[in-house]
């Protein structure tokens, strides 16, 4: 490649990067003036002016006069045109699927949760998802042109580039070409991601934008993590870094879906709570997680004991993560947040007891604020950032 080609490729990359950071600043801080945008993004006045002109021309940004007057003429303020385009965010969980439509400001427009009835037949499951999506599109009276893209978060290992879910142990799904399945039906850009990574992106983007070293531990039927190092999501060579649910904490422990024995998630996930209750209650009727949580909250002593035990087991894995990575912030998310009041003390007790004090002193432990919506927020964020570069 000759020098001028390299130069022009670089300038295209810079243009895209500037455009998306200007858009992001308007989304997060708008209404905002052009002058403020130059300070926040570090772009020159000319660059801001050019990109804003494009964003307005394409209808993504609108001018408003809501600005605070500082004596003279009111500065023109810029804000996102929320209804210019919409995004679908879909989170496939182990027993249910969330389908959320967001507007451009990443506000929830519509939301639907459907149970996974045909676990052994994923195509049938996706057809149910499409029905829900079609209903939403119709209700909002949208055309496919009004949609920026579809983000899909899954509880398993993925090939992000090919858009394939390689293995979801808790669903029993292998080699599902998710991007292709959605593309064949809607022809829209698709981004596939692991749910814990999507949730980490959502939580950091919305709640902790300034924290650079953070681990998000998503505890549902299994456990997955999203790791931010120096402000960047760490994916590792395979793209699947963060599978701390499968660190082995008991080599003689029960068999895990992954083929090993005694993985952390066997002892510290929501499945552990369900299975442990089944075992201790000597009953043949398997209660759902929801039922167990409710009984626990109503004061069932046996269940509260299981919550406490789970908290301790969660703590054991967190000790390993904190000792290994020494993050500034560790956020616990996923369905387990529902019983945070029962597990928090046990987690902290275990960390104080076993984590290296230098690492423990420097980490803050929080529960997810976005809760069960963290992953869908993260996917909407990814779709917007990816698509806005190409307008
Ligand atoms: Zn495992």
- 3-state class (DSSP) for residue 263: strand
Distance 248 CA to ligand 1 centre (A): 7
Q: Are 370 and 203 in contact (CB under 8 A)?
A: yes
- CATH number, residue 342: 3.30.420.40
- Give residue 243 CA to ligand 1 midpoint distance, Å: 9
Q: Is residue 304 left, alpha or beta, with left meaning phi > 0 and alpha meaning psi from -120 to 50?
A: alpha
Please check whether residues 69 and 98 belong to one and the same domain: no
Report the separation in Å between the CA atom of 246 and the middle of ligand 1, taken as the mean of its atom positions: 4
| pLDDT for residue 2 | 65
Per-residue pLDDT, 284: 80
If you measure from the C-alpha of residue 277 to the centroid of ligand 1, how many angstroms do you get, rounded to a whole number?
21
Query: 25 and 68, same structural domain?
Result: yes
Query: Is the pTM for the entire model greater than 0.85?
Result: yes
Contact (CB, 8 A) for 322 and 360? yes
**Residue recorded with tokens 């269940």:** 303
| Res 100: pLDDT | 98
Beta strand pairing status for 190-194 and 164-168? unpaired
CA of 169 from ligand 1 middle (Å) equals 9
Determine the distance separating the centroid of ligand 1 and the alpha carbon of 115, expressed in angstroms.
25
Question: What is the Å distance from ligand 1's center to 389 Cα?
Answer: 39
The closest of 168, 157, 252 to 197, measured between CA atoms, is: 157
Residue-level pLDDT at 340: 97
Structural domain range at position 14 = 3-80
Residues 95 and 192 grouped into a single domain: yes
C-alpha 375/C-alpha 153 separation (Å) is: 7
Long-range pairs, 254-258, Cβ under 8 A, ≥24: 256/169, 257/169, 257/170, 257/222, 258/169
Are 139 and 216 within one domain?
A: no
The tally of domains found in the chain comes to 3
How many CB atoms neighbour CB 291 within 10 A? 14
Residue 211: closest CA among 225, 199, 201: 201
| Tokens describing residue 275 | 């299975």
Task: Map tokens 């006069």 to a residue.
Answer: 65
Q: What CA–CA distance (Å, rounded) separates 109 from 191? A: 20
Tokens in use for 314?
Answer: 């969660």
Q: Measure 249 CA to ligand 1 centroid, in angstroms.
A: 10
User: Ligand 1 center to residue 133 CA distance, Å?
Assistant: 34
Looking at the structure, tell me whether residues 317 and 339 fall in a common domain: yes
Helix (DSSP H) and strand (DSSP E) numbers for the chain = 13, 16
Cα of 94 to ligand 1 centre, how many Å?
Answer: 16
Indicate the helix (H) or strand (E) that contains 367: strand 364-367
**Quick one: 357 and 214 in the same domain?**
yes
Same domain, 132 and 232: no
b/e code 64-74 from CB counts within 10 Å (16+ = b): eeebeeeeeee
Is residue 363 located within the same domain as residue 273? yes
Is residue 219 domain-shared with residue 339, that is, in the same domain?
Answer: yes
Q: What is the CATH number of the domain that holds 53?
A: 1.10.10.10
Question: Same domain for 323 and 272?
Answer: yes
Spatial distance between the Cα atoms of 299 and 336, rounded to a whole number of angstroms: 18
Residues 72 and 136 placed together within one structural domain of the fold = no
Compute the distance from residue 261 Cα to the ligand 1 centre, in Å: 7
Q: Tell how far the Cα of 254 is from the centroid of ligand 1, in angstroms.
A: 10
Q: What is the pLDDT along the chain (391 residues), one digit of tens a residue?
A: 566 666 677 888 888 889 999 999 999 898 999 999 999 999 999 999 999 999 999 999 999 975 555 566 667 899 999 999 999 999 999 999 999 999 999 999 999 999 999 888 999 999 999 999 999 999 999 999 999 999 999 999 999 999 999 999 889 999 999 999 999 999 999 999 999 999 999 999 999 999 999 999 999 999 999 999 999 999 999 999 999 999 999 999 999 988 999 999 999 999 999 999 999 988 788 899 999 999 999 999 999 999 999 999 999 999 999 999 999 999 999 999 999 999 999 999 999 999 999 999 999 999 999 999 999 999 999 999 999 988 8
């Amino acid at each position: 490649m000759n020098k001028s080609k390299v130069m022009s490729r670089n300038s295209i990359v810079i243009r895209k990067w500037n455009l998306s950071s200007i858009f992001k600043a308007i989304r997060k801080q708008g209404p905002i003036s052009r002058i403020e945008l130059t300070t926040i993004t570090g772009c020159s006045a000319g660059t801001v002016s050019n990109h804003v002109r494009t964003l307005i021309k394409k209808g993504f940004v609108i001018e408003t006069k809501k600005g605070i007057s500082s004596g003279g003429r009111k500065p023109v303020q810029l804000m996102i045109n929320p209804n210019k385009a919409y995004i679908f965010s879909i989170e496939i969980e182990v027993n249910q699927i969330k389908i959320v439509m967001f507007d451009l400001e990443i506000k929830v427009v519509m939301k639907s949760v459907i149970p996974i009835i045909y676990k052994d037949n994923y195509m049938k499951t996706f057809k149910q998802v499409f029905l829900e999506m079609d209903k939403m599109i119709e209700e909002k009276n949208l055309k496919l042109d009004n949609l920026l893209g579809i983000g899909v978060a899954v509880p398993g290992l993925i090939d992000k580039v090919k858009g394939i879910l390689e293995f979801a142990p808790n669903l029993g799904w292998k080699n599902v070409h998710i991007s292709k399945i959605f593309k064949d039906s809607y022809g829209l850009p698709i981004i596939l991601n692991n749910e814990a990574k999507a949730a980490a992106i959502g939580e950091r983007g919305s709640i902790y934008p300034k924290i650079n070293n953070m681990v998000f531990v998503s505890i549902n039927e299994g456990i997955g993590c999203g790791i931010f190092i120096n402000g960047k999501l760490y994916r590792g060579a395979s793209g699947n870094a963060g599978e701390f649910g499968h660190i082995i904490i008991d080599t003689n422990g029960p068999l895990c879906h992954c083929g090993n024995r005694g993985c952390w998630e066997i002892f510290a996930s929501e499945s552990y709570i369900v299975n442990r209750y089944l075992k201790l209650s000597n009953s043949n009727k398997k209660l759902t997680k929801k039922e167990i949580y409710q009984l626990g909250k109503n004061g069932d002593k046996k269940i509260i004991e299981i919550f406490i035990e789970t908290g301790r087991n969660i703590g054991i894995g967190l000790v390993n993560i904190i000792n290994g990575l020494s993050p500034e912030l560790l956020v616990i998310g996923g369905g387990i947040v529902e019983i945070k009041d029962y597990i928090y003390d046990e987690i902290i007790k275990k960390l104080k007891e076993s984590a290296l004090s230098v690492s423990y002193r420097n980490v803050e432990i929080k529960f997810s604020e976005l809760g069960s919506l963290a992953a869908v927020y993260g996917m909407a964020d990814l779709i917007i950032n990816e698509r806005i570069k190409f307008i």
